[in-house]
Amino acid sequence: MTEATAEITAVLDVRGLPCANRRAIIFGHFDSLVPGQAIEIVNDHDPVGLKSHFAERAPGGFGWRPLEAGPDVWRIEIARN
Report whether pLDDT(1) > 70. no
- 9-61: per-residue pLDDT in tens? 999 999 999 988 999 999 999 999 999 999 999 999 999 999 999 999 999 99
Looking at residue 28, the DSSP 8-state letter turns out to be H
At residue 7 the predicted structure's pLDDT band, cuts being 50, 70 and 90, is very high
The alpha helices in the chain, defined as continuous H runs, are 19-31, 48-57
Domains in the chain: ranges and CATH: 7-80 (3.30.110.40)
Q: Measured between alpha carbons, how far is 9 from 3 in angstroms, rounded to an integer?
A: 17
